[in-house]
Chain A
Amino acid sequence: MTQTLKAWFSDLPKAVRILIFGLGAVIILLIPRFLTSSYIMGIICRILLYITLAGSLNVINGYTGQFSIGHAGFFAVGCYTTAILSSNYAWDFWFTLPIAGILTAIIGLLVALPTFRMTGIYLSIVTLGFSEIIRLIALNWTGLTGGPLGIKGIPAPQFLGMNIRRAGDYYYIFLLFAVLFLLVTNRVLKSRIGRAWISIREDQQAAQSLGVELVKYKAMNFAYGAFWAGLAGAIYAPYINYVDSNTFTLDEGFNILSMAIIGGMGTLGGPVLGSFVVNILNELLRPVSAYRLVVYGLLIVVMMWIRPQGIIGASDSMLADDRTGADLLERLGLKKRRTA
């Protein structure tokens, strides 16, 4: 479906395409002017934040077929880095950003390095454990992270002399980074590196025999994903204004994971859609918020049964379950499956 939409779009005359892009950009930029409700702006900011987070997870899970599930840990590292540097050491927000990203990438790399020789599950468990341990460290290292009290009053970032405080202002920062993430990742995926990642996902042994250095490219991939998660955390810190370890439980990691899985893995658009769907669902389920993660769990299981690659995931990859073609009835067990 996305393919036909893309084809239809590229068939349009150039002027029309530019017009559509321009109109879209203007509308997106003017959203905070029309929607002044801070509640709705809050939701939109979350959606944009999670586009970067779920997207960076998708770079790891959807493009090299490794399965990281502790993304909340990297989010936490970025968040705490900015919070500590800007409130304890009075660093400027914009200087803490690259440090948060790079530090997260280095820590992620150190944690994941022993698993690159193995496949799949080992990375999942190590990242799961890492995410929980970061939370424990944040909870217990009172001198650095404030322990259970957290860090309060993180200074607002300044831009051209004005303090960014309202959700309507943060909207532009989140938007900037979501767009930056999508553009940069798009370029990376079309480069030699991105093609190497995809080849690892499709067939690790074939990729290796064609000269793709597995450990090197897996490491680059993981560091890249962790870097963006760290950046997302760094922006989140002044936005939320208060960081404590309860923000980064395993449930948060599963929340991010469900966005990538439900929206679709292996495409740039998948996590964007996933972020919209899950965050809006989140608001709809607010009256029964205890059931939120049950619903996500159900959605994940249902998605695996009928469309493993996610709503707009990469259908032409190994993420899709193509044993029996795309026959929905067979998947659901309503029709007997052909046996090989």
Chain B
Amino acid sequence: MDYAISILVNGIVQGSIYALMALGYSVIVGITGLVTFTHGEVMMMGAFASFYVFELFGSNILIGAIGSFIVCGILGIIIYKVCYERFLDAPRHIALICTIGASMIIKNMAQIVFGPNQKPMFGIFENQLIKIGPVQLSVLQLVILAIVVILALGLSLFFSKSKYGISMRAVSQDKTAASLMGLNVNANALLGNVIGCGLAGIAGMLISVYYQAFQATMGGPLGMKAFSASVLGGLTDSRFAALGGLFLGLIENFGIAVSSASFRDIFAFIFLILILIFKPQGFSKKGGIKL
């Protein structure tokens, strides 16, 4: 029983990190209307950014989060300029291939600059356990949960209340109509991409802190998980994307418990295939994105 509860807790914590990845992914896809392959690589850069931030400014997870958000936001601007800006109204596969090219560049440059080996991450928190009834949580897990919940609520408020959030939602619904209403489609798409990439950066930091390790090639499977999770929301609905992330974390942890840890990445794939078979449009109200 204790074992099952600890798997459940691990699954929820890991799922919340996946939820953050999926949130970023669905923000990018929803607002630019184009899909991205760079998401995993952005997370990887987030992990590296936080590592150097921790090294320079000390092990404070908030400073790390801000640092990786800024670095990945800047990366998001570059990715937007290279892969999206020219291709907003072009055939969709062009931007898609462009992001594949960009992800190849980022991943391999990272391998050259930072080295291909796995690196240990700083231990931010001591390994202290908190007991709440039958549930045992480490401080780190609690902090991760808190960060993800705060970011998700903040994002939800941003999109429902703030002027920028509302105009971004307008752009995501109909670019032509939005531009006729006097909205700057380009600037909004850029902002959406920056936010999505920034969230991915924080997610990358969290996952490297959680696993206590990171490396330049970690992006591929992470990008696939972000995608798999956001398929549940039809790629554009952030709430269901976050839910998909949580599910994915749970499935993965229970799956590992019955098989072995080397099959970790297979469960995300099975999850993706199952959704595509039974609910390919996801649960989004708009019926998913037309890609």
| Min distance, Cβ B39 to any Cβ of chain A, angstroms | 11
A129 near B272: Cβ-Cβ < 8 Å: yes
Rounded to whole angstroms, the CA-CA distance of A296 and B112 in the bound complex is 15
B89 near A323: Cβ-Cβ < 8 Å: yes
Interface size class of B (residues with CB under 8 A): 35 or more
8 Å CB contact of B93 from A65, A122, A126, A139: A65
A124 near B272: Cβ-Cβ < 8 Å: no
Q: Beyond A290-B111, A294-B105, is A130–B269 a contact (Cβ under 8 Å)?
A: yes
What is the chain B residue whose CB lies nearest that of A293?
B108
| Min distance, Cβ A172 to any Cβ of chain B, angstroms | 34
Residues of chain B within 8 A of A139, CB atoms compared? 262
| Min distance, Cβ B222 to any Cβ of chain A, angstroms | 12
A119 near B221: Cβ-Cβ < 8 Å: no
Q: Beyond A114-B280, A140-B262, A140-B263, is A294–B104 a contact (Cβ under 8 Å)?
A: yes
The SS class assigned to the A binding surface is: helix
The segment out of B95-103, B134-142, B154-162 that lies at the interface is B95-103
Q: Beyond A114-B280, A133-B265, A291-B112, is A128–B224 a contact (Cβ under 8 Å)?
A: yes
B101 near A125: Cβ-Cβ < 8 Å: no
Rounded to whole angstroms, the CA-CA distance of A304 and B273 in the bound complex is 30
Rounded to whole angstroms, the CA-CA distance of A65 and B277 in the bound complex is 21
B266 near A304: Cβ-Cβ < 8 Å: no
8 Å CB contact of A321 from B94, B111, B235, B291: B94
A136 near B262: Cβ-Cβ < 8 Å: yes
What is the chain B residue whose CB lies nearest that of A114?
B276
8 Å CB contact of A300 from B90, B92, B100: B100
| Per-position binary interface string of chain A over residues 280-300, scored 1 when its CB falls under 8 Å from any chain B CB and 0 otherwise | 000000000011111011111
| Min distance, Cβ A6 to any Cβ of chain B, angstroms | 25
B104 near A67: Cβ-Cβ < 8 Å: no
Rounded to whole angstroms, the CA-CA distance of A60 and B98 in the bound complex is 18
A331 near B224: Cβ-Cβ < 8 Å: no
Q: Give the residue among B91, B104, B227, B273 with the most A Cβ atoms within 10 A.
A: B104
Residues of chain B within 8 A of A298, CB atoms compared? 101, 105
A126 near B96: Cβ-Cβ < 8 Å: no
Residues of chain B within 8 A of A69, CB atoms compared? 100
B224 near A125: Cβ-Cβ < 8 Å: yes
A122 near B100: Cβ-Cβ < 8 Å: no
Rounded to whole angstroms, the CA-CA distance of A120 and B224 in the bound complex is 15
A293 near B104: Cβ-Cβ < 8 Å: yes
Contact residues of A between 104 and 148, Cβ < 8 Å to B: 111, 114-115, 117-122, 124-126, 128-130, 132-133, 136-137, 139-140
Residues of chain B within 8 A of A235, CB atoms compared? none
B97 near A129: Cβ-Cβ < 8 Å: no
A291 near B108: Cβ-Cβ < 8 Å: yes
The SS class assigned to the B binding surface is: helix
Any chain B CB within 8 A of the CB of A250?
yes
Residues of chain B within 8 A of A124, CB atoms compared? 37, 96
Rounded to whole angstroms, the CA-CA distance of A294 and B94 in the bound complex is 19
A125 near B272: Cβ-Cβ < 8 Å: yes
Residues of chain B within 8 A of A308, CB atoms compared? 90-91, 94, 97
| Per-position binary interface string of chain A over residues 308-325, scored 1 when its CB falls under 8 Å from any chain B CB and 0 otherwise | 100000000011010100
Rounded to whole angstroms, the CA-CA distance of A120 and B35 in the bound complex is 10
A126 near B98: Cβ-Cβ < 8 Å: no
Residues of chain A within 8 A of B107, CB atoms compared? 293
Interface size class of A (residues with CB under 8 A): 35 or more
Rounded to whole angstroms, the CA-CA distance of A79 and B86 in the bound complex is 40
A297 near B273: Cβ-Cβ < 8 Å: no
A126 near B272: Cβ-Cβ < 8 Å: yes
B86 near A67: Cβ-Cβ < 8 Å: no
B96 near A129: Cβ-Cβ < 8 Å: no
Residues of chain A within 8 A of B112, CB atoms compared? 290-291, 294
Any chain A CB within 8 A of the CB of B148?
no
Residues of chain A within 8 A of B146, CB atoms compared? none
B108 near A126: Cβ-Cβ < 8 Å: no
Q: Beyond A129-B224, A296-B104, A331-B86, is A120–B277 a contact (Cβ under 8 Å)?
A: no
Rounded to whole angstroms, the CA-CA distance of A277 and B92 in the bound complex is 26
Residues of chain B within 8 A of A132, CB atoms compared? 220-221, 224, 265, 269
Rounded to whole angstroms, the CA-CA distance of A267 and B100 in the bound complex is 21
Any chain B CB within 8 A of the CB of A13?
no
Residues of chain B within 8 A of A133, CB atoms compared? 265-266, 269
Rounded to whole angstroms, the CA-CA distance of A331 and B107 in the bound complex is 26
Residues of chain A within 8 A of B83, CB atoms compared? 301
Rounded to whole angstroms, the CA-CA distance of A90 and B73 in the bound complex is 56
Residues of chain B within 8 A of A319, CB atoms compared? 91, 93
Rounded to whole angstroms, the CA-CA distance of A79 and B280 in the bound complex is 32
Rounded to whole angstroms, the CA-CA distance of A297 and B93 in the bound complex is 16
Any chain A CB within 8 A of the CB of B187?
no
Residues of chain A within 8 A of B263, CB atoms compared? 136, 140
User: 7 new A-B pairs (CB below 8 Å) besides A120-B96, A126-B276?
Assistant: A114-B276, A132-B221, A136-B262, A136-B263, A140-B262, A298-B101, A331-B86
Q: Which residues of B contact A (CB under 8 A)?
A: 35, 37, 82-83, 86-87, 89-98, 100-105, 107-109, 111-112, 220-221, 224, 227-228, 231, 235, 260, 262-263, 265-266, 268-269, 272-273, 276-277, 280, 291
21 contacts between A and B (CB under 8 A): A115-B276, A121-B235, A129-B228, A129-B272, A133-B265, A140-B260, A254-B100, A254-B104, A290-B111, A290-B112, A291-B108, A292-B108, A293-B108, A294-B112, A297-B102, A300-B98, A301-B83, A304-B87, A304-B94, A331-B86, A340-B89
Q: Which residues of A contact B (CB under 8 A)?
A: 65, 67, 69, 111, 114-115, 117-122, 124-126, 128-130, 132-133, 136-137, 139-140, 250, 254, 257-258, 261, 290-294, 296-301, 304-305, 308, 318-319, 321, 323, 331, 333, 340
